[in-house]
Structure 1
Amino acid sequence: MGSAILAHFLLKEKLQKMGMLGCLLCIVGSTVIVLHAPGERSISSVEEIWKLATQPAFLFYTASAVATALVLILYCAPRYGQTNILVYIGICSVIGSLTVMSIKAIGIAIKLTLEGTNQAKYFQTWIFAMVAVTCIIIQLNYLNMGGGDKFVMQ
Structure 2
Amino acid sequence: MHTTKQNDYINKQNSHFYLGLCLAVSSTVFIGSSFIIKKISLKRLFHAGGLRASAGGYGYLKDWLWWLGLATMGVGELANFAAYAFAPASLVTPLGALSILVSAVLASKYLEEKLTCAGKTGCILCILGSVLIVVNSPKQEDSQSVDELMQRIWGTAFLNYILVVSSCSVICCALIPKYGSRNVVLYVTICSAFGSLTVMACKALGLTLKNLVSESTSGNAAWMLIFLLLSITVCILVQMNYLNRALDVFDTSLVTPVYYVIFTLLVLVASSILFKEWTTMSRTNVLGLLSGFCLSVVSLFLLSYFKGPNCYELVKNSARVNDYNL
Q: TM-score, normalised by structure 2?
A: 0.39
Counterparts of 2:172 and 2:212, CA distance in 1: 38
Counterparts of 1:95 and 1:18, CA distance in 2: 30
Relative contact order, CA 8 A, sep 6+: which one is greater?
Answer: 2
The reply to whether residue 98 of structure 1 matches residue 197 of structure 2 is: yes
Partner SS, residue 237 of structure 2: helix
Q: Is the 8 A contact 2:176 2:186 kept in 1?
A: yes
In the alignment, which residue of structure 2 is the partner of 1:40?
141
- Select 1:84's aligned residue among 164, 183, 205: 183
Q: TM-score, normalised by structure 1?
A: 0.76
* Structure 1 pair 29–10 and aligned structure 2 pair: CA distance change class (3 A): closer
Question: Which moved further from structure 2: 105-114 or 94-103?
Answer: 105-114
- Select 1:12's aligned residue among 109, 119, 138: 109
Q: How does 1:34-73 map to 2 (within 5 A)?
A: 35=136, 37=138, 39-45=140-146, 47-73=147-173
The reply to whether residue 145 of structure 1 matches residue 242 of structure 2 is: no
* Structure 1 pair 50–118 and aligned structure 2 pair: CA distance change class (3 A): closer
* Structure 1 pair 137–80 and aligned structure 2 pair: CA distance change class (3 A): same
Aligned residues: 151
Counterparts of 2:168 and 2:145, CA distance in 1: 33
The reply to whether residue 115 of structure 1 matches residue 214 of structure 2 is: yes
Partner SS, residue 147 of structure 1: helix
* Structure 1 pair 136–55 and aligned structure 2 pair: CA distance change class (3 A): same
The sequence identity of aligned pairs, in percent, is 25
Amino acid corresponding to residue 240 of structure 2 in structure 1:
L
Counterparts of 2:160 and 2:106, CA distance in 1: 42
Give the deviation of 1:39 after TM superposition. 5.0
Give the deviation of 1:95 after TM superposition. 1.4
In the alignment, which residue of structure 2 is the partner of 1:21?
122
Residue by residue over 1:29-54, the C-alpha shift from the partner in whole angstroms, topping out at 9 and shown as x without a partner, is 68448725495221232x32111111
Amino acid corresponding to residue 182 of structure 2 in structure 1:
T
* Structure 1 pair 137–104 and aligned structure 2 pair: CA distance change class (3 A): same
Q: Is the 8 A contact 1:8 1:15 kept in 2?
A: no
Partner SS, residue 40 of structure 1: coil
Counterparts of 2:163 and 2:196, CA distance in 1: 12
Higher-helix-fraction structure: 2
Give the deviation of 1:145 after TM superposition. 0.5
Q: Which runs of 5+ in 1 are unaligned?
A: none
Counterparts of 2:142 and 2:201, CA distance in 1: 18
Counterparts of 1:143 and 1:84, CA distance in 2: 13
Question: Which moved further from structure 2: 29-38 or 56-65?
Answer: 29-38
Amino acid corresponding to residue 113 of structure 1 in structure 2:
L
Whichever of the two has the greater Rg, that structure is: 2
Counterparts of 1:43 and 1:63, CA distance in 2: 24
Counterparts of 1:19 and 1:94, CA distance in 2: 30
Q: Which runs of 5+ in 2 are unaligned?
A: 1-27, 33-99, 255-310, 312-326
Q: Is the 8 A contact 1:65 1:94 kept in 2?
A: yes
Question: Which moved further from structure 2: 52-61 or 20-29?
Answer: 20-29
Partner SS, residue 109 of structure 2: coil
* Structure 1 pair 10–29 and aligned structure 2 pair: CA distance change class (3 A): closer
Amino acid corresponding to residue 127 of structure 1 in structure 2:
F
Amino acid corresponding to residue 70 of structure 1 in structure 2:
V
